Chain A
Amino acid sequence: MTGGPFAAVPYLAVVLALAYAILPAPAYAAAPSGSAAMEELSKNAKKEGEVIWQLASSRIEPVVKAFQAKYPEIKLRSFFKTSRDVVTQVIAEDRARNQVSVDVLSLDLQRGTPLLDRRIVASEDWSKLGVEPSQLWADGLIVGGYDTVDGMYYNPQLVQAAEVPRRWEDLLHPRWANYQIATTSSGSALTAIYYTRNGPDADAYLRKLAGQKIAFEQNTAVMTKKFAYGEYKIAVGSVGRMEELQAKKIAVAMVPVGPVIAVRRGFATLKKSPHPNAARLLMIWLASKEGRKALREIGNHAAAFPCDESDLAELLCKNKLEIVFLSTKEKAKEYETFGKRALEILRP
């Protein structure tokens, strides 16, 4: 029993090091340029025969089916895990193994930064493979994607038109005191205040808002559910949820107070992916018009202008709401700093 399960660790380390040295590098090699590159990639992807995609939503099944229809020779296997959980898993696998267990991740810069910082994400010259420049971000490490937008919405059956807040200060009115407003436990959606005024003023505002007694729900899903049942008059969180409510004929409308925060979610592959060619092919397809259309059809779309890009974009345009895009690592980092500061004030 001496040493317990860790007694074998030094030996395992040696075995792993040897395995790392002996085993061949991933089969992916830089492809030639242009359509020839795509053909080569497609050929190699078919040889690999499958691709493993981590999803954060089971609703994405129609997208999987659309890809399978286009590439029947490549079996698209998917599993569900939150971005936060998969990041921890992938870092652990990358540190301990020659190969990770996933090819394509659904990632945003807030959650994906640890992978980018550790240089676990694979880089690629995507433009050579025909990906539009507008679909590339985070120095080309993340491809395509859609936005989740944090904003405010209200229940028109419970809130008179004249009462609807038009400015941040309106939320300090006594009518919104005592758990009339709900947000998520991280309070991240209220971080938008830091983009409207300087730090000390934003801090002072949040202190006053904390005095209003806001309900902090476990997550957006729970908050939305309670909002839908009429428990809260105003919710501060994902606007995407608001669209879902509208689709289910729940009374809901946007509070025209901005800016809103748009967290872009895209797709990335990893240096140690088991099927590097198939992974790239899937990402290219997801960033293509066909892939974007499939994503749009399940409600995952860009908040970016032009206004007719999606219902969400139209909604934001109509309300003339400024959008803060977290499209670079620096912006994501700044948002994280603001978020921590806001939380310390709102929930000391």
Chain B
Amino acid sequence: MRALDANVLIPVRFRTFSYAQLAATGTVALVLVMVALPIVVLVFTSFRLTEDKLPFEDTIFTLQNYRGLLAAGKTYTVLLNTLWYALGAVGAGFTLAMVFSWLFERTNIPFRSIMIVLLLAPMAIPSIVKTMGWILLLNPVNGTFNVLLRDWTGAAGPGPVNIYSLTGMMLVSGIGMVPSIYVLVSHVFARFDVRLEESARASGATAATTFRRITVPLLRPALLTGAIFYFVNTLDNFEGPALLGMPRDIFVFSTYIYRSLRTVSALPNYGLTSAFAMVLLALAAVLVVFYARSVRHAERFAVVTGKGYRPSLINLGRWRWLALALVVLYFSISALLPLAIVLWASLSPGFSVPSLSGLAEATTARYVKLAHSEIFHKALMNTLLVTTATATATTLLSAVVAWIAVRQRSIWGKLADWLPFINLANPSIILASALLFFFVGIPLPIYGSNWIIIIGLIMAYLPYGTRIMGPAYLQIHKELEEAARISGASTIQTMIRIVLPLVKTAVWRGWLWMFIHGTTATTIPVVLGGIDNQTVTTLLFITLLEEGDLEMASTMAVPLVVICGLLTLFVARQTLLLRTDTN
């Protein structure tokens, strides 16, 4: 029996080493390059004097950028604002996303499929358009809601609600990130084995104890990862703070960086901007350590084991209609309002606040113009190509990287876990500039093509991909893979036949997340765009921010929203999101 065991196990171990180890090393090396490139450029640039130079030009190394940063009293106010803003936004976003995840994945809430599509589709609306919608509604001078409140209470203006505040920024950003967080965390709820809770209850635990001792610890790695991840991500959030904070001189790091880039000077001060970004990087590093400590014993959180698992639904009974009402209320505010604003803007003949009387003047002229625009057609094709390639490549790479991170005990595993996270703190403008400066000198047909944008987006989205895949792997016990190996399956066969089918939902959701975010990505396509690789967002950016044409920009956004909505529907079907509502 011993000889037989040896015959079976030794070749398996050998194959595991030759393929898996090699693939792991190669993948981690690739990720290392993807992370190191922008970080090296960031560190290098932060020590360059770039007041009227680009970082690679003939200029000196200096500490001036850091001295300026530390000496400015405003830096500390900005730091404090940023922390509060990120905490508030992530707190609001996470709370809502968890409620929706629980309702959609664990309960029999009615019209679930429609609600999920409605929840996810607004991801395709450019956030600047959404934020403008909030301003129309809640600005203290003549925001529709404020005017109604004043009429009702007889109070004098401005106010009473002031969206131009730190609280306003937190709420708008928090609500805006709900779909994105939902994609990240909902599958954790979907895969949750309710029998663990039932066992606890059967053993005499109260509902509260079960929630505290069973539910929360099991969800902790995924939720903690998500919370830390979105916290770092929020540090780079721009549109909300720019539109709601900057007019009242409330700065967070992203808008502070913007201010240092967009001065009256001819060239952006990349050195100073990079020094700011280094602060974010340091903060991200601290959070990486915190995160690593919190998921040291990942295997404890596996809920899908070889003993079978059974996701089951909670019957809400009569409460399901109340739950539905709450969800509809949220949709009315967060999804239907921006969608209505976008549609209104695209159909209105000029500047006008939405009104019933204005509907009579609606025009499809902008749609006709877009339909005849060669530039828009080409940009749309580029967008579809770039986003499809980005979503597919990033999902595949994330699947491999996250698997290495979860399963490898070696240094490669730790690197695979930490490296993508670090890139998250690198502002998009620095990432895009690093790619521009790097690839412009490489004699390969990458610079100026769609490839450079795809590479940039893969680098930007890899942290998201690994965060979506990682928790999904964490929930699958190693014993399933061990059983496959003992049965003679290679690592690749195990991955394809055992692991991937179990994490299929995460794969599809990750892909959808990348695709939708790819369609609205702005900084990377704008900085790296040229004659052959312009995307719709580049046109949208110019139309909106250079020409101030919200109406045309909204018209351009509509095809993206439709495409993303249809894709959401398709992916939802693929991943069994659309289970029958009669459950």
Q: Is the CB of A16 within 8 A of B548?
A: no
Which candidate, A92-100, A124-132, A161-169, A312-320, is the interface stretch facing chain B? Answer: A92-100
The reply to whether B56 and A218 form a contact with Cβ atoms under 8 Å apart is: no
Question: Which B residues touch A92, using CB under 8 A?
Answer: 54, 56, 436-437, 440
Contact assessment for A101 and B258 in the assembled complex, using a CB-CB cutoff below 8 Å: no
A66 located at the interface, meaning its Cβ lies under 8 Å from any Cβ of chain B in the complex: no
Nearest chain B CB to A213 CB, angstrom units: 8
- Do A96 and B440 touch (CB < 8 A)? yes
Q: A222-B243, A224-B548 are in contact. Are A52 and B531 (CB under 8 A)?
A: yes
Q: Indicate with 1 or 0, residue by residue over B418-440, a CB within 8 angstroms of chain A CB atoms.
A: 00000000000000010011101
In the bound complex, residues from chain A placing their C-beta under 8 Å from that of B243 are: 218, 222
Alpha-carbon separation in the docked complex, A111 to B52 (Å):
11
Which of A15, A80, A347 is most buried by chain B, counting CB atoms within 10 A of its CB? Answer: A80
Q: Please determine whether A61 and B373 come into contact, CB atoms closer than 8 angstroms.
A: yes
Asked if A340 and B37 sit within 8 Å, CB to CB, the answer is no
Known interface pairs A58-B542, A77-B531. Does A4 touch B40 (Cβ–Cβ under 8 Å)? yes
Closest approach, in angstroms, between the C-beta of B540 and any C-beta of chain A? Answer: 10
B277-305: which residues lie under 8 A (CB-CB) from chain A?
none
The answer on a CB contact under 8 Å between B263 and A340 is yes
CB < 8 Å neighbour of B548 from A78, A215, A225:
A225
The smallest C-beta distance from B240 to any residue of chain A, in angstroms, reads 11
Shortest Cβ distance from B376 into A: residue: A58
Report chain A residues within 8 Å CB of B141. Answer: 230-232
A114 in contact with B52 (CB, 8 Å): yes
CB contacts (< 8 Å) of A217 on chain B: these are 246-247
Residues of B within 8 A of A232 (CB): 141
Identify the stretch in B96-104, B110-118, B131-139, B496-504 within 8 Å (CB) of chain A at 4 or more residues: B131-139
Q: Are B350 and A81 in touch, CB under 8 angstroms? A: no
Residues A220 and B242 in contact in the complex (CB < 8 Å), given A215-B248, A336-B264: no
CB pair A336–B436 under 8 Å, yes or no, is: no
Q: Is B5 an interface residue, CB under 8 A from the partner?
A: no
The CA of A91 and the CA of B270, in the complex, are separated in Å by 14
Identify the stretch in B9-17, B28-36, B309-317, B403-411 within 8 Å (CB) of chain A at 4 or more residues: B28-36
Contacts of A111 in B (CB 8 A): 266
Determine the residue in chain A with the shortest Cβ distance to B35.
Answer: A4
Q: How far is B132's CA from A219's CA once the two chains are assembled, in angstroms?
A: 14
The answer to whether A185 and B37 touch across the interface, beta carbons within 8 angstroms, is no
A5 to B141, CA, bound (A): 53
B247 to A, closest residue via Cβ? A215
Q: Tell me if A188 and B264 are in contact (CB < 8 A).
A: yes
Query: Could you tell me the distance between the alpha carbons of A97 and B444 in the complex, rounded to whole angstroms?
Result: 12
CB of B539 within 8 A of CB of A58, answer: yes
For A91, list chain B residues within 8 Å (CB).
54, 57
Would B526 and A81 count as touching, CB distance under 8 A?
Answer: yes
Contact status A81-B529, CB under 8 Å: yes
Complex CA–CA separation, A95 to B544 (angstroms) = 32
Is the pair B544, A185 in contact by a Cβ cutoff of 8 Å? no
Q: What residue in chain A is nearest B265 (Cβ atoms)?
A: A336
Given contacts A81-B529, A229-B142, contact A244 B440 (CB under 8 A): no
Given the known inter-chain contacts A191-B264, A225-B132, A339-B263, please indicate yes or no for A101 contacting B546, CB distance below 8 A: no
Does the CB pair A80–B538 fall under 8 Å?
A: yes
Q: Is the beta-carbon distance between B266 and A113 smaller than 8 angstroms?
A: yes
Interface string of B61-85 (1 = CB under 8 A from A): 0000000000000100000000000
Q: A248 to B264, Cβ gap below 8 A?
A: no
Stretch from A32-40, A82-90, A197-205, A276-284 forming part of the interface with B: A82-90
Taking CB atoms, residues of chain B closer than 8 Å to A15 are 443
A1 within 8 Å of B by Cβ?
A: yes
Is the beta-carbon distance between A347 and B249 smaller than 8 angstroms?
yes
**Cβ of B486 under 8 Å from chain A:** no
One digit per residue, 1 when the CB lies within 8 angstroms of any chain B CB and 0 when it does not, for chain A 49-87 equals 000100011110100000000000000011111101101
B545 at the interface (CB under 8 A from A): yes
- Are A88's CB and B375's CB within 8 A? no
Chain B residues, CB < 8 A from A117: 52
Please report the C-alpha to C-alpha distance between residue A245 and residue B267 in the assembled complex, in whole angstroms. 31
The one of B268, B350, B442, B547 that contacts A12, using a Cβ cutoff of 8 Å? B442
A216 in contact with B246 given A4-B40, A336-B265 (CB within 8 Å): yes
Cβ-defined contact, A241 with B548, below 8 A: yes
B358 sits at the interface (CB 8 A): no
B550 within 8 A of A: yes
Please pick, from B248, B546, B552, the residue contacting A56 in the complex, using a CB distance under 8 A: B546
Number of A-B residue pairs having CB atoms within 8 Å of each other in the complex: 178
Of A221, A230, A348, the contact of B546 (CB 8 Å cutoff): A221
Complex: chain A residue closest to B270, CB-CB: A88
- Which residues in A have their C-beta under 8 angstroms from that of B259? 185, 347
Task: State whether the Cβ of A335 lies closer than 8 Å to any Cβ in chain B.
Answer: yes
Question: When the two chains form the complex, which single residue of A93, A96, A225 contacts B550, counting CB atoms closer than 8 Å?
Answer: A225
Contact residues, A123-181 vs B (CB, 8 A): 179
Asked if B543 is an interface residue, CB under 8 A from chain A, the answer is yes
- Collect the chain B residues with CB atoms within 8 Å of residue A188's CB: 264
Q: Which residues from chain A contact B520 at a C-beta distance below 8 Å?
A: none
In the complex, whether A239 has a CB less than 8 A from a CB of chain B is no
Q: How far is the CA of A92 from the CA of B442 in the complex (A)?
A: 12
Given contacts A16-B443, A185-B246, A216-B246, whether A226 and B135 have CB atoms under 8 Å apart is yes
CB < 8 Å: which of B526, B544, B547 contacts A85?
Answer: B526
Chain A stretch 231-245: residues in CB contact (< 8 A) with chain B = 231-232, 241, 244-245
| A102 / chain B contacts, CB cutoff of 8 Å | 530-531
Q: Give chain B nearest CB distance to A77 CB in angstroms.
A: 6
In the docked arrangement, what's the CA distance between A93 and B530, Å?
12
| Cβ–Cβ contact A80 & B542, under 8 A | yes
B41 to chain A, nearest CB (A): 10
Asked if A328 is an interface residue, CB under 8 A from chain B, the answer is no
Interface pair A1/B437, CB less than 8 Å apart: no
Q: Does B40 lie within 8 Å of A6, measured CB to CB?
A: yes
- A250 to B529 CA separation, bound complex (whole angstroms): 35
Report yes or no: A179 in contact with B441, Cβ–Cβ below 8 A. Answer: no
Q: Indicate if the CB atoms of A88 and B448 lie closer than 8 Å.
A: no
A300 to chain B, nearest CB (A): 11
Whether the Cβ atoms of B263 and A219 lie closer than 8 Å is: no
Contact B135 A250 (CB under 8 A): no
The chain B residue sitting closest to A221, CB to CB, is: B548
Residue among A57, A85, A101, A182 making CB contact with B531, cutoff 8 Å: A101
A57-B36 Cα distance, complex, nearest whole Å: 36
Instruction: Say yes or no: B545 contacts A88, CB within 8 Å.
Output: no
Q: Which of B29, B263, B529 has the most CB of A within 10 A?
A: B263
- Inter-chain CA distance A9–B259, complex, in Å, is 33
Task: Contact check, A5 vs B527: say whether CB atoms are below 8 A apart.
Answer: no
Contacts of B436 in A (CB 8 A): 88-89, 92
Docked Cα-Cα span, A231 to B132, in Å, equals 12
B173 at the binding interface (Cβ < 8 Å):
no
Q: Which of A95, A185, A228, A336 contacts B258 (CB 8 A)?
A: A185
Against B, the Cβ 8 Å flags (1 = close, 0 = not) of A246-283 are 00111000000000000000000000000000000000
Q: A85-B527, A221-B545, A230-B141 are in contact. Are A61 and B375 (CB under 8 A)?
A: yes
A to B CB contacts below 8 Å, 28 in the list = A5-B36, A12-B441, A16-B443, A56-B546, A57-B547, A58-B375, A78-B531, A79-B529, A91-B54, A92-B56, A92-B440, A112-B266, A114-B266, A117-B52, A182-B247, A186-B262, A188-B264, A222-B545, A225-B548, A226-B135, A229-B353, A230-B142, A231-B139, A231-B142, A248-B350, A336-B266, A347-B259, A348-B74
A-B pairs with lowest CB-CB distance, top 4: A221-B548, A339-B264, A248-B350, A96-B441
- Name 10 extra pairs, CB < 8 A, besides A88-B54, A95-B440, A101-B530: A4-B36, A4-B40, A9-B441, A58-B539, A80-B529, A84-B266, A117-B52, A224-B548, A231-B139, A340-B265
User: Which residue numbers of A lie inside 8 Å of B, CB to CB?
Assistant: 1, 4-6, 9, 12, 15-16, 19, 52, 56-59, 61, 77-82, 84-85, 87-89, 91-93, 95-97, 101-102, 110-114, 117, 179, 182, 185-186, 188, 191, 215-222, 224-226, 228-232, 241, 244-245, 248-250, 335-336, 339-340, 343, 347-348
